[in-house]
Amino acid sequence: MSPTMIAPVVVEENNKYQKGVKHLCDNGLTKVPTKYIWPEPDRPIFTKSDKLTKPKQNLKLPIIDFNELLGPNRSHVLRTIAEACETYGFFQVVNHGMEGDVSRNMIEVCKKFFELPYEERSKYMTSDMSAPVRYGTSFNQNKDNVFCWRDFLKLYAHPLPDYLPYWPSSPSDFRSLAATYATETKEMFEMMVKAIMESLEIDGDDNEAAKELKEGSQMVVVNCYPPCPEPELTLGMPPHSDYGFLTLLLQDDVEGLQILYRDEWVTIDPIPGSFVINVGDHLEIFSNGRYKSVLHRVLVNSTKPRISVASLHSFPLTSVVKPSPKLIDEHNPSQYMDTDFATFLQYISTREPKWKNFLESRKIHHL
């Protein structure tokens, strides 16, 4: 085949993958395409240090009971939050008030969205990262050399009235259910910020950072991981940390989330109705390295589709993020350079975002 004939074939192949993994699966798939096969050291059976992991290793994260947090045992719960953020970068929240219809309805309506015909879903496909709604595939489909077994729907959500008119109108109840979910997760985030500030011994009421976060950015990201014929060859999401302050994750009952703990990948047991909350890069910077944004990834399986809904919260996109002045003194100098969203966008526009590379690029190395 001549080079002039090969080029259109390559373009056609790439276009096929740009439509997403759900589209591939809906058209019948018995093997994982080469585009999704990860190098051996990055596949699920390996750890960061390239050692084989145990076949099954699940981790029970610290559990924060919201009723306890708001009750007389608050000081004890704050210590548990601090220990979780320092040790794991993750914890799970129960009795948060969203266990019933709000969470259940959000998972169900998101499943229905991904069951829509491709032509309907593709209306929201764009490479514009600032678009109020973005449907796409993989992790960063314009930069990824190897694709992830994941499709997503990203919704900017604050201020909600600015963005809601752009959200999908199908399924017919999508906007109303997703708006309720976004509003209630925002309220939960604000309560968690107050607790985080207290756990860092920063006054949560008279605090400029807390006020900024209240008016900050919120993005709801719905992840769809279809069943995979060869799950040992690919990943739902690659190892990464979250760019932001806190992420509130709602999952269905299918496990898949793993965190890097003591140099081993361990699976998080999903607790029905709970939220998994994790430290983002901005909180690591704000806490001057006391709280850690931890690497995590997603595995897929051969039998069950998996849906998760992440609500990512941080400072306003125009804000400068830096360590809290209250956590810096002559004995604890600033560990991170000031950063902003423009710096992050410039960084990821020139390379494939992975691991904690962006955060590492903002560290100050003291002699």
Give 308's strand partners. Answer: 223, 251
Residues 54-90 pLDDT 10s: 445 688 899 999 999 999 999 999 999 999 999 999 9
Question: Residue 254 to residues 137, 211, 231, 259, 300: CA-CA distances in angstroms?
Answer: 20, 36, 14, 16, 9
CA geometry: angle 201, 245, 326, nearest 5 deg: 30
Q: Is residue 367 part of a domain?
A: no
Residue 295: per-residue pLDDT: 95
Residue 205: per-residue pLDDT: 54
Strands, E assignment, the chain: 58-59, 63-65, 90-94, 133-137, 151-156, 217-225, 237-240, 246-251, 257-261, 264-268, 275-279, 296-298, 306-314
Token pair 């192949």 in the structure block, residue: 13
Indicate the residue type of 97: G
Residue 354: per-residue pLDDT: 62
Q: What's the chain's length in residues?
A: 367
Pairing of strands 264-268, 275-279: unpaired
> For residue 93, with 0-12 CB atoms within 10 Å meaning exposed, 13-18 middle and 19 or more buried, which class applies?
buried
Give the domain extent around 281: 3-361
Determine the Cα–Cα distance for residues 187 and 134; give it in Å rounded to an integer. Answer: 24
Q: Is residue 188 part of a domain?
A: yes
Residues 252-308 pLDDT 10s: 999 999 999 999 999 998 888 899 999 999 999 999 999 999 999 999 999 999 999
Question: Residue 29 to residues 26, 62, 76, 239: CA-CA distances in angstroms?
Answer: 8, 39, 51, 25
Q: Peptide bond before 171: cis, by omega within 30 degrees of 0?
A: yes
User: CB count, 10 Å around CB of 284?
Assistant: 26
Q: Is residue 148 part of a domain?
A: yes
> What's CA 19's distance to the chain center, in Å?
21
Query: What domain count does the chain have?
Result: 1
Phi and psi dihedrals of 219, rounded to 5?
-130, 130
Average pLDDT, the chain: 88
- Stretch 33-37: mean pLDDT: 94
Strands, E assignment, 8-161: 58-59, 63-65, 90-94, 133-137, 151-156
Residue 129 has pLDDT above 90, yes or no: no
Residue 195: per-residue pLDDT: 96
CATH number of the domain that residue 44 is part of: 2.60.120.330
Q: Is residue 366 part of a domain?
A: no
CA geometry: angle 193, 194, 197, nearest 5 deg: 85
Residues 145-199 pLDDT 10s: 899 999 999 999 999 999 999 999 999 999 999 999 999 999 999 999 999 999 9
